[in-house]
Amino acid sequence: MRLERLQVSWDHRLEEVALKIYVGNLSFDTSESALRDLFAEHGEVEEVRIITDRDTGRSRGFGFVTMVEKDSATSAIDSLNKHEFDGRTLVVNEARPKSHDGGGGGGGRY
């Protein structure tokens, strides 16, 4: 029982520290491992996900990177926004939570 409470407390703390980053204008050829390597230059990367078309499996040109520490994420955003990568100028900013209004379209929501 006590162990479970400590785990929940630890998990909650991690959620507050980690930061999800929107990465737009990706080349269709950019891989998740290449994107992870780029962001890892700024700190520990927890997760990388390039969004793909459900029918074709092809990249939709954007993705999300979750970094373990907020300071590292802020550094990555400042350094990589408008940075040239795989022949494209990246758009990098803090991701916004997905709205549940039923509408489509992009804009950095996860």
For residues 67 and 76, the answer to whether their CB atoms sit within 8 Å is: yes
Rounded Cα–Cα distance for residues 87 and 46 (Å): 25
pLDDT digits (tens, 9 = 90+) for 3-45: 444 444 445 444 456 899 999 999 999 999 999 999 999 999 9
Q: How many domains does the chain have?
A: 1
- Say if 2 falls within a structural domain: no
- Say if 7 falls within a structural domain: no
- Say if 6 falls within a structural domain: no
Note the pLDDT of residue 2.
42
Q: Is 18 exposed, middle or buried (0-12, 13-18, 19+ CB in 10 A)?
A: middle
- Say if 42 falls within a structural domain: yes
- Say if 85 falls within a structural domain: yes
CATH number at residue 60: 3.30.70.330
Q: Domain range for residue 33? A: 17-94
Rounded Cα–Cα distance for residues 36 and 44 (Å): 9
Per-residue confidence at 110, pLDDT binned at 50, 70, 90?
A: low
Note the pLDDT of residue 60.
98
For residues 81 and 91, the answer to whether their CB atoms sit within 8 Å is: yes
- Say if 100 falls within a structural domain: no
Note the pLDDT of residue 106.
55
pLDDT digits (tens, 9 = 90+) for 51-95: 999 999 999 999 999 999 999 999 999 999 999 999 999 999 999
* pTM for the full predicted model: 0.76
- Say if 29 falls within a structural domain: yes
- Say if 102 falls within a structural domain: no
